[in-house]
Amino acid sequence: MGSSQSLRVPTGKGPFNVGCTDVMADHTRQGSFFRLYYPCEAYEPSTQPSWIPRCYYSIPVGWNAPFRAVEKYPLIIFSHGLGAFRTLYSSICLEMASQGFVVAAVEHRDESAACTYFFKPRVEQLSEDTQSDLEEVWLPIRKLNASEEEFSLRNEQLSQRVEECGRVLDVLADINSGTPIKNALLDNLALSVLKGCIDLQRVAVMGHSFGGSTSILAAAKDKRFRCAVALDSWMFPLAEDIYSKDLSPVFCINSEKFQTQDSIAKMKRLQSTNNDLKIITILGSVHQSHTDFTLLTGDLLSKLFETRGAIDPLKALEITNKAAMAFLQRHLDLQKDFDQWNALVEGHDEDVVPVPEL
């Protein structure tokens, strides 16, 4: 397996330092749980958090670093894939934050996350300390029963995921307006510092796999999301009525190995009624090329679990980020230089092609 020095999430390439914190607004299962990445002031490297909380690998961001509260930032709500979690896409999220976005990576409570948690009151009150009076309740991924019809389950989960993305946007809108928000995770960033610094007129939704279909449906159901970036979207959970809905602009960035002809046909069907829907494929990429796994698994594990394709994993992520930023500039009316990567959005690059003809 590759050396530990080579297994790392790279620093952001943008002009901003990046901080992050975890937010659990309402400690119950019905509350919002997300990791927030944001432009920050300088921080000490010793404050870098572990990749998986309570586990290993650090990521190059400042944990609870001082927020850079000098301008308004566009917002991205990020939705993870089936069996994933809020920290699995830190390489994409921190890059976006380094380029001037606030990014909220949702951890879904629809039982599609690998494992997540919330709090419930202890049976016996231990002290006057409110944190001590709560105990963690872990929610593992739900396995499909043999008697279950998969589409019904996944479509139901999809609806909940879209609601959760909207709820996170509600929380951030409250924070932006100065409404006090209690974070059940104590000693994290004081959220009041974000007041007036989130540009709620420039909000996008982004996601991978199941999160890709989540972002597509969110772009149809919640018009606060001005556009969506769907990374290797799992099209299966989307119901037939998606094709008759009015979609905000959508950008499908696919890997070469994951998508089937049926999935591509569904994307092209959406495109036929939506001129602002773009579809590209990154040559040599695999489904995990959009995740941190592509960077944090050595040669042996990458072969066993196909976390890397023929393309260099850093290059694949760079293409994803640049293409996404060019699309976001176009549809969020950003005053940036991301339009230098417009060719990627059209599928014009040696490592990128437009959607293939069927």
In a domain, 290, yes or no: yes
Q: What average pLDDT does the segment 1-21 reach?
A: 77
Q: Does the residue 7 lie in any domain?
A: no
Asked whether residue 10 is domain-assigned, the answer is: no
pTM of the model: 0.93
Per-residue pLDDT tens over the stretch 243-275:
999 999 999 999 998 999 999 999 999 999 888
Instruction: Identify the sign of the CA torsion 217, 219, 223, 228.
Output: positive
Q: What is the pLDDT of residues 96-119, one digit of tens each?
A: 999 999 999 999 999 999 999 999
- Is the pLDDT at 302 greater than 60? The verdict is no
State mean pLDDT over 187-210.
97
Asked whether residue 12 is assigned to any structural domain, the reply reads: no
Residue range 287-316: mean pLDDT, rounded: 76
- Which two structure tokens, joined as six digits, stand for 339? 């339009």
SS3 121: strand
Give the mean pLDDT of 221-243: 97
The predicted pLDDT at position 308 comes to 64
The answer, yes or no, to whether residue 186 has pLDDT greater than 90, is no
Residue-range definition of the domain harbouring residue 252:
17-354
Q: Is residue 1 part of a domain?
A: no
Q: Is residue 11 part of a domain?
A: no
Domain annotation covers residue 103: yes
Residue 8 inside a domain? The answer is no
Q: Hey, which residues are catalytic here? A: 209, 232, 287
CA 139 to each of CA 20, 40, 112, 131, 148: distance values in angstroms, whole numbers, following the listed order: 24, 32, 10, 19, 20
Q: What is the pLDDT of residue 295?
A: 85
The pLDDT tens digits of the residues spanning 126-156 come to 555 555 688 999 999 999 988 899 999 999 9
Identify the CATH number of the domain in which residue 27 sits.
3.40.50.1820
Q: Is the pLDDT of residue 189 over 90?
A: yes
Q: How many domains does the chain have?
A: 1
User: Which residues, 6 or more positions from 11, have their beta carbon under 8 angstroms from its beta carbon?
Assistant: 60, 94, 98
Residue 98 burial by Cβ neighbours in a 10 Å radius (0-12, 13-18, 19+): buried
